[in-house]
Chain A
Amino acid sequence: MLQQIADKWIAGEGLLGGVFQGASPYLVYSVTMLIGAILALVIAAHLAGIYSWAERRIAGRIQSRIGPNRVGPQGFLQWAVDGLKTFQKEDLIPQDADSVIFRIAPYLSFCGMFLVFVVLPFSNTLVVADLNIGIVYILAVSSIEVLGVMLAGYGSNSKWAFYGGMRSAAQLVSYEIPVGLALLSMVLLSGSLNLNQIVLSQSHEGFFRSILAWNFFATPFAFIAFFAYFTAAIAEINRAPFDLPEAESELVAGFCTEYSGMRFLFFFFAEWANIFVISMIAVVVFFGGWTVPGVHTAAQWEAITPYIIYGALILTVIGATWVGYRMGVRADEPTRLTKPTGDLGTTILAVVLGWGPAFTALAVLSLFIAFGLPSAAPAVIKNAAQFGVIFIKAHILVFLVIQLRWTVPRLRVDQLMMLCWKYLMPVTFVCILGNMAWIAFIDMNGTAANLTRVVLFALTNLLILKYILMVVQNLRHAKANFDFKLAV
């Protein structure tokens, strides 16, 4: 998308086109790239922060305790104050550490994560750089992270950190292979390395057909490749149950034993944002990316645009009015949202959360009704809807990753290596060969292929059903027996 904007600006067209008229193309490209990078950084920073809060809340629920609930509603702003606090800490570097390596390691680790954000397609057009070699690029830059972790282990000049660094070198390098192989087996199916093209190859007319068109259901090998990919990817980002480089009960804190303050934050920044990165890649490659089921052609987007816009605006008006009203009346009826009566803070909250948005939405609504929707509306709605779809899909996987961490113990080093080399590697190789054979011998639009898709779809639904039943059963059990209090 930045490419097109830059080209427009160089040609002197579009919004802000006049500003850059006659400027050197290099300057324009640099400026657009900088804007893109800052946008991606903002998204990554907020996601990583919010995940740190979400993880702690989810872990709290799983472990039958509360978790952070003090700062902001439900403790939602905990990540912000934690980040601020950590940034204020003294920048400690151990005396015997290799100070250059020690300083540079967190940023390398962070870069490995952040560079992947550049090619993630959040919608058809919302992508910082729409590279032709997207998948190869991801595999290449995500290896930089290993370097950061390894250097952190080496530069700390601590034995525990050194163990962490060595473990991560072995683990991350090994697990990159199954990740790469699993993704390549899907590249065979989609016929492109470009992430947007991979998504497009999974789109289809019609609601159910567009879900069945996901790569995940395409062949049995794709089905297996997803599980191989996701397991290996979790190992690649050092998440439990594969968090050996920082195994806290064995290696104190592994590679980040000597880190504190801001540098420590950067490692965890990378770790949490990486959860989103691997989930996004999985969604793009296996689960149809940003395709919105049932809406494909420009005419369809035109048709649903007014419904979405008017619906959203009306809901905003109603919701925000309710919030403002509640803030106003809560003098008699204190709720959890509000503090005791009528202070300045409540008034500001009522305006910021309630009346302000309500009146703005109402004004926009009346403008749209009076003058009609702007011509750009369908494009905006299309991108927003696609963004919403991929975001929800990715976060389902993010939740799974977080839940997994608080459910299972950690593997041992040799078991971890065995899982990689003895199980995941052969499985992913079989996936590649299988997908090749499938493409060669089976008509992708024929009955056999379609039947496979339906069967795999049914199987997936059964798996999800089983998962939901287990969770519901456990929750019910928990409710009946675990909110136990002695009557004293």
Chain B
Amino acid sequence: MSSLVTQLKSDEMLLNMGPQHPSTHGVLRFILKTDGEIVTACEPDVGFLHRSIEKICEKCDYPGFMPYTDRVDYLAAMNANHAYALAVERLAGIEVPRRAQVIRVITDELNRIICHGAIGVGALGMDLGAATPFLHAMRERETVNDIIEELCGARLTYNYVRIGGVWFDLPDGFVEKVTAFLNHFELAWEEINRLLTDSVIFRTRLMNVGTITAGDAVSYGLVGPVLRATGIKRDVRRDQPYAIYPELEFDIPVGTGTFGTLGDCFDRHLVRVEEVRQSVKIVRQCLKLLEPGPVIAKVPKNIKPPAWADVYSAVEAPRGEMGFYLMSNGTGKAHRCKIRTGSFAAMSIISRMAPGMMIADLVAFIASLDVVAPEIDR
């Protein structure tokens, strides 16, 4: 805002945005101080969805905690499952069969497609008033949900990944269905982007709004598309490879500042759009890598990792690095569990970026960070 606006200061208004506000994506609350349309301070108030998931982990045995990881990020449950399974496998030294690893990557990337497609990109559009692309993206999400439902019986909280592999083998015709979906989705994604990314209004709404510098992004611990939009090429899939990612060919899109400045809302949007395309590419490669074999390793019923061993292992979830820190105490239950999520880090930068934004910009900014409430509170 120009200096003129700051000179014309009037009384501040305290505004409660949320917890029931259409654009807070779940139950989030922002306490805003506003001067007319301009936000002068914004304090995120988190914790409405706190469910002590980390504490529950200390009271469950290792396999028993798996359903709770679904609830960490219900929009990308497959990735959270994978992250936890990976942590336990590394802790207990379990080898995962190759077929299971390929299936995990396929489901992870399908999950990323619908998560970025419907929420990261679609809901951002809806927060700017474009309801149509969101509904188109939701239609694609339904198809993926159908595919995953055939795989594991659930549409949202999958509980599909198991320690040492995955629960079920692929059903008949899975490869053909996924291929058919991807063929369709590539066209649909271009159409959604013609409506959204190519729209001049959409572009001007996001350009130069909420510009996060690379330095800020690092010091606030941002991860995932939000970090990559600032130009930093950091991706767990490439930097700390897991599963079969080292064998796959894919690009890591970073922000370029083509429109506006580097690290603004539009860069974050573009990174997500491009990541979806890369995910499609990854799934196609994985489908070719599927070979017959077991999908789950022989794992003892009571997993007992060595005492006082600890592990931190992360996966690249749609909202960035999702890491599980586990410490064992020699029994069947973890001594300590700590979950590191992207949304929580993203929330911290809101109060820094918000002053000077307009209310409409703040809505766009929060949507472009792509935060999801349970991932913040856990």
Interface residues of A (CB under 8 A from B): 59, 62-65, 159, 163, 166-167, 240-241, 243, 247-252, 406-415, 474, 477, 481-482, 484, 486-488
Cβ contacts B194-237/A at 8 Å (1 or 0 each): 01100101101100000000000000000000000000000000
- Asked if B147 is an interface residue, CB under 8 A from chain A, the answer is yes
Q: List 29 A-B contacts (CB under 8 A).
A: A63-B135, A64-B139, A65-B139, A243-B129, A249-B22, A249-B127, A249-B129, A250-B23, A250-B359, A252-B21, A408-B129, A408-B201, A409-B202, A410-B130, A410-B205, A411-B201, A411-B205, A412-B205, A412-B358, A414-B358, A415-B204, A481-B184, A481-B191, A482-B188, A486-B143, A486-B146, A486-B147, A487-B177, A488-B177
Given A167-B37, A486-B180, 14 further pairs, Cβ under 8 A: A64-B139, A166-B36, A241-B129, A249-B127, A251-B359, A408-B199, A409-B205, A410-B130, A410-B201, A477-B187, A482-B136, A482-B139, A488-B150, A488-B177
Render B105-144 as a binary contact track against A, CB cut-off 8 A, 1 for contact. 0000000000000000000011111111001100100010
* Bound form: Cα–Cα A166–B180 in Å: 51
A159 contacts across to B, CB distance below 8 A: 13, 15-16
Specify which chain A residues have a CB less than 8 angstroms from the CB of B196 in the assembled complex.
409
Q: How far is the CB of A251 from chain B (nearest CB, A)?
A: 8
**Contact indicator A409/B363 (Cβ below 8 Å):** no
In the complex, what residue of chain B is closest to A474 when comparing beta carbons?
Answer: B191
- The distance from the CB of B273 to the nearest CB of chain A, in whole angstroms, is 15
Complex alpha-carbon distance, A247 and B202, angstroms? 15
Q: Are B361 and A484 in contact (CB under 8 A)?
A: no
The answer to whether B154 has its CB under 8 Å from any CB of chain A is no
* Shortest CB distance B214–A (Å): 26
| Chain A positions within 8 Å of B187 at CB level | 477, 481
- CB of B242 closer than 8 Å to a CB of A: no
In the docked arrangement, what's the CA distance between A358 and B359, Å?
Answer: 60
Nearest-neighbour CB distance to chain A for B366, whole angstroms, equals 10
Q: Is B360 an interface residue (CB 8 A)?
A: yes
The A interface, classified by DSSP as helix, strand, loop or mixed, is: loop
Whether, in the assembled complex, B167 has its beta carbon less than 8 Å from a beta carbon of chain A, the answer is no
Contacts A240-B129, A248-B22 known; A409 to B199 CB distance under 8 Å? yes
Cβ contact within 8 Å between A249 and B126: yes
The 4 tightest CB contacts between A and B, nearest first, are: A410-B129, A409-B130, A63-B135, A409-B128
Complex Cα spacing A411 to B196, Å:
13
Distance (whole angstroms) from the CB of B342 to the closest CB of chain A: 22
Given the known interface contacts A249-B127, A250-B359, A413-B37, the answer about A64 and B135 at a Cβ–Cβ threshold of 8 Å is yes
- Chain B 167-192, CB-CB to A under 8 Å as 1, else 0, gives 00000000001001100100110010
> Scoring B residues 360 to 377 as 1 if CB is less than 8 Å from chain A, else 0, what string do you get?
110100000000000000
Kindly provide the distance from the CB of A476 to the nearest chain B CB, expressed in whole angstroms. 12
Chain B residue numbers with a CB within 8 Å of A411 are 201, 205
Contacts of A249 in B (CB 8 A): 22-23, 126-129, 363
* Cβ-defined contact, A65 with B135, below 8 A: yes
B126: chain A residues at CB < 8 Å are: 249
A63 to B359, CA, bound (A): 27
B-side contacts of A63, CB under 8 Å: 131-132, 135-136
Q: In the complex, are the beta carbons of A487 and B37 less than 8 A apart?
A: no
